[in-house]
Structure 1
Amino acid sequence: MGGGPAGSTLGALLAQRSDLRTAIFDKEVFPREHIGESFAHPVVPALQESGALAKVLASPCWVKKYGGVYAWDPDRPSVALFDRALFEQDGVLRWTMHVNRAEFDHILLDHAADVGVEVFQGTAVTAYEPDANGGVVRLADGTSVRAGYFVDASGRQSSVSAARNKRGWLSNFKNIAIWQHFTGGKHTQNLPADWNVFTSDNFSPIGCFAFRDGWCWYIPVPKIIDGRRVLTHSVGIVTNPAVLKEPGRDYTDQATFLAAVREVPYLRDLVTDVVPVADHMITATNYSRVAEEFGDYDERHLLVGDAAFFVDPLFSSGVAVALTQAQAAALLLLKTTDGSLEEADRRQLWRDYNDKWHGTAETFALMIDQWYHAIAKNNPDSVYWNTRGTGADLGIREQTFDALLNTAFQPALLDVMTHNSRRVEDLDAAGPYLSATALAEPAGLTPDAVLTLAPTTAVRDGVTMLVPGFKATNPPANVQLPPAVLAGMAEYWKNPLTHPTAVPAPLRDTVPCKRIHSTEDPHGPSIDADVRRDGVDELWELLSAGPVKYGEIAGRLTPAQIRLVKRMCVGGFLHIAPAA
């Protein structure tokens, strides 16, 4: 259900990699307008994996994007080239695109049909009713379709999944986006400043500019106006809905909107002469939401893309995450149906999909909130900014604590938030992400603490999937890639179409793991550990020998093994006791 980027990509992957019969139902008729016109660079490998990249690049619907300008402090804007640290090593630029979503989404849906997916446009799904052999999909015209598996990729407003799956908040911040397209705008790369790394080579970035009531985006978008291709700029404001009720600040009024953006530092230099393509503004609620469960093995029901979760659009991550999650969903369905896994491993893989993507959603949301927290400190008189970044108390799931312990700060965000120092120590320890990370640390793990395996803790061989599994992108600092992989990434980005296999695709297949679990609940919570990276075999041998003081072994453990010890403590697989 849903023919947007997530649904069309999932359909295309299944059609090309299996003999499953796949259908997409979408209530809209394409092309249709959609928010989210600027992408993060994992979009490119995801499109290449689905086979749609060549078709997108052959179209006139996109502009090449190399990074972003983030003007939160007027005296010191941040600039970010994609994977800047790797670019500084290998000299190869990473890129993605700004797009006209109406055309882009249509290309992806047509591609799914081209490779064998049955596509039904203008056909709304009203219900999914699971039974012992799959389920029945009810359509608005009264007909029904029997399905072996049902995937909801219908976006944030999904009523079908919402009826059976509660949605919660990923952030305390509930915004509204207001925007329109304009002609006559200047390019962000032409802002005259010594910090503007995009100027010399005319590289196009996204522009994001803070002001008293929120922040603005500025994105070049090729559109067809009156039958003619025109390069417009999408100009938007993200603010709190309550702000719109204050005198003179109803930004849904076009004159008020234009007056406001023409006062924003840096942005005002770009929009002096802009002309709107329509006489009204467009709005969309911009709440960060998350579904309670992303999949149910027994009900054969799966959520992908915005139907699963939607994170604040500050870093243009939505489509990149949706396409990559679609790859994970394709892998999950293929491994569920191809007979290669035992029942226990299939169930565990569904649980991994749910837990790992929840962890990804919640940790990324906390990283965004960490930045909002920093901006608020620089804007003490702003009501808007001082209701942002105020805490991490969002009922964080236990699985997210595991994700916080097992991941590092997202490299692109760290670049921007630290003005390219890339040091987590330069972030404010009181911010939501670092506060949550501190909460995730196991209590009592001191050098004198005695560690003992819980009586029911066991380890077995298993398989898992790598999440988020972005291909050809710089991983967090706690993941060290071999030189051959780094060289392959450089080769890949020279031309993803001609070098598609220069770097591994993490979500092409499952990966072997050691699974730490409880013998009392073999299908319950577990920890999957990478044999090579995490050093799980050596650690297990050490812990199995009997109670041991943490201080006596910590010096012999690798950073990955220390993380694994902490994860086992938080998960209840390893007990901590004070020294006698």
Structure 2
Amino acid sequence: MLSTHVHQNTKSVEEVDVAIIGAGPSGSIAASLLHAQGKRVLVLEKQHFPRFSIGESLLPCCMQVIAEANMLDAVNQAGFQYKNGAAFRCGDQYTTFDFEDKFSQGPGTTFQVERAKFDKLLADEATKQGVEIRYGQSVESVDLTNAPQLTVNREAGESYRVNAKFILDASGFGRVLPRLLELGKPSSLPTRTAVFNHIQDNITCSDFDRNKILISVHPQNQDIWYWLIPFSDGRCSIGVVAEPHLLGDLTANLDDVLLEMVSQEPGLKRLLANAELINECGILKGYSANVTTLANQKFALLGNAGEFLDPVFSSGVTIAMQSASLAAKALVKQLDGESINWQTEYAEPLMKGVDTFRTYVEAWYDCRFQEAIFYQQPDVTIKQMICSILAGYAWDQKNPFVSESKRRLNMVVELCRS
């Protein structure tokens, strides 16, 4: 139970160990891990679940953290689409990566998920474990003068306050603390836009592998790429990503924008000849973000609330879950009275993986990594090492393509060109 104290203004102030903003994957995972260590956790979620979100193709590395939070059985039994790898296509070039044939230790398979169902499943599992999640609660202000205090608005309009020993911001693209505390800074990546929808795919082509995400490159402009993520119910998530000026008139009907872009890629046009749009198209603009501070003694930013790179390698949920695990471990120590250096125990370890992904995202858009991916005679060991990164194991320092990501990638590109 959450204890309540009455201040002079007669408004109740709830006291908790940790207030978590957001009940998405990082929030639910962090709440579960902290609750298991006996910490008083309160999760404040602005929306009601289920709710739509993109980031639907998980990476195998996620499964380790899901297991850590005792949610693996529920995820395995939910009926999500099995995923064992990734496929890439550019014109006549087509290649696949089998995530079980990788360098790093750990799971080699995962799932492709409709995030509305997946996020609700994780949140419900956290609730079953005893975590309190309040939906329809919007954090309007944060005061860090002394112990952290949050002012929270209920949908009905009344507000209340929560005193916490620590705040975890798991608000994703809402980026609550970066906005309230002015922590944002420009990303090093160019501004890009994603236009997306769910489709009844009606795919009849026998050469389409539903167990893999398909990444397709625009035939005339390698800066433009598409995702096609199959679900278990005959539907897919389809999206196109590019700098805004390459997508046409974004003030027009977005369905028309998406369909026109898909028609420009012959492979997708063939696959989706009978597809039907299910929802209104969504758009995500200028999604890449960075912050001046990831954590200190009073708060930590998880997942997209801290830094988001790009959707091309589906790293978002993996980074979110990894951040939840790292932050929970450090926070338990701090709440138990240990002195914690959040830079060395959270920010730096997390950024090792983020910066590994950044190497390959940047090299995807300048086409060096595309050269390596589509090379027709790859070295088996090198491909296994690259496959580990595509499977999410971007923190595995035993992998030379993690520990020396830029140098090793440049070496491979030179080998491909020679």
TM-score w.r.t. length of structure 1: 0.58
Using the alignment, how far apart are the partners of 1:166 and 1:186 within structure 2? 45
Q: In the alignment, which residue of structure 2 is the partner of 1:104? A: 118
Q: Mean alpha-carbon deviation: is it higher for 23-32 or for 149-158?
A: 149-158
| Counterpart AA for 2:198 | H
| Counterpart AA for 1:59 | A
Using the alignment, how far apart are the partners of 1:177 and 1:256 within structure 2? 11
Deviation digits for residues 315-371 of structure 1 (CA, Å, limit 9, x no counterpart) = 1111111111100011011111224x4x3xx23x54431233234323421321112
Conservation of the 8 A alpha-carbon contact between 1:31 and 1:106: yes
Conservation of the 8 A alpha-carbon contact between 1:188 and 1:204: no
Indicate how the Cα distance of structure 1 residues 350 and 173 shifts in structure 2: closer, same or farther if over 3 A, else same.
closer
Q: In the alignment, which residue of structure 2 is the partner of 1:207? A: 214
Using the alignment, how far apart are the partners of 2:143 and 2:216 within structure 1? 46
The one of 81, 90, 99 equivalent to 1:63 is 81
Q: CA deviation at 1:259?
A: 3.7
Conservation of the 8 A alpha-carbon contact between 2:288 and 2:308: yes
Using the alignment, how far apart are the partners of 1:335 and 1:293 within structure 2? 20
Q: In the alignment, which residue of structure 1 is the partner of 2:142? A: 128
Q: In the alignment, which residue of structure 1 is the partner of 2:307? A: 309
Q: In the alignment, which residue of structure 2 is the partner of 1:177? A: 194
The question of 1:11 aligning with 2:44 is answered: no
Higher relative contact order (CA 8 A, sep 6+): 2
Indicate how the Cα distance of structure 1 residues 376 and 66 shifts in structure 2: closer, same or farther if over 3 A, else same.
closer
Indicate how the Cα distance of structure 1 residues 138 and 424 shifts in structure 2: closer, same or farther if over 3 A, else same.
same
Conservation of the 8 A alpha-carbon contact between 2:247 and 2:261: no
Q: In the alignment, which residue of structure 1 is the partner of 2:275? A: 274
Q: In the alignment, which residue of structure 2 is the partner of 1:53? A: 72
Q: CA deviation at 1:130?
A: 1.7
Q: In the alignment, which residue of structure 2 is the partner of 1:421? A: 379
Q: In the alignment, which residue of structure 1 is the partner of 2:334? A: 336
| Counterpart AA for 1:5 | P
Using the alignment, how far apart are the partners of 1:291 and 1:419 within structure 2? 40
Using the alignment, how far apart are the partners of 2:376 and 2:287 within structure 1? 26
| Equivalences for residues 503-522 of structure 1 within 5 A | none
**Secondary structure, aligned partner of 1:287:** coil
Q: In the alignment, which residue of structure 2 is the partner of 1:216? A: 226
Q: How many residues align?
A: 369
| Equivalences for residues 134-213 of structure 1 within 5 A | 134-140=147-153, 141-186=158-203, 190-191=207-208, 204-211=211-218, 212=220
Conservation of the 8 A alpha-carbon contact between 1:165 and 1:293: no
**Secondary structure, aligned partner of 2:367:** helix
Indicate how the Cα distance of structure 1 residues 418 and 58 shifts in structure 2: closer, same or farther if over 3 A, else same.
same
| Counterpart AA for 2:34 | L
Q: CA deviation at 1:46?
A: 1.3
| Counterpart AA for 1:367 | Y
Q: CA deviation at 1:85?
A: 3.6
Unaligned runs of 5+ in 1: 192-197, 223-229, 379-413, 426-469, 481-533, 535-558, 560-580
The question of 1:372 aligning with 2:365 is answered: yes
Conservation of the 8 A alpha-carbon contact between 1:13 and 1:50: yes
Conservation of the 8 A alpha-carbon contact between 1:22 and 1:117: yes
**Secondary structure, aligned partner of 1:162:** helix
Conservation of the 8 A alpha-carbon contact between 1:2 and 1:25: yes
The question of 1:236 aligning with 2:239 is answered: yes
The question of 1:81 aligning with 2:98 is answered: yes
| Counterpart AA for 2:246 | V
TM-score w.r.t. length of structure 2: 0.79
Using the alignment, how far apart are the partners of 2:161 and 2:47 within structure 1? 18
Q: In the alignment, which residue of structure 1 is the partner of 2:5? A: none
**Secondary structure, aligned partner of 1:15:** helix
Unaligned runs of 5+ in 2: 1-20, 384-391, 405-418
Using the alignment, how far apart are the partners of 1:15 and 1:273 within structure 2? 48
Q: CA deviation at 1:473?
A: 9.0
Conservation of the 8 A alpha-carbon contact between 1:66 and 1:93: no
Q: In the alignment, which residue of structure 1 is the partner of 2:316? A: 318
Cα RMSD (Å):
3.2
Using the alignment, how far apart are the partners of 1:79 and 1:376 within structure 2? 14
Q: CA deviation at 1:41?
A: 1.0
**Secondary structure, aligned partner of 1:370:** helix
Indicate how the Cα distance of structure 1 residues 167 and 126 shifts in structure 2: closer, same or farther if over 3 A, else same.
same
Indicate how the Cα distance of structure 1 residues 419 and 137 shifts in structure 2: closer, same or farther if over 3 A, else same.
farther
Deviation digits for residues 121-171 of structure 1 (CA, Å, limit 9, x no counterpart) = 000111221243x21111123210111111111012324332324323343
**Secondary structure, aligned partner of 2:234:** strand
Residue identity (%)? 24
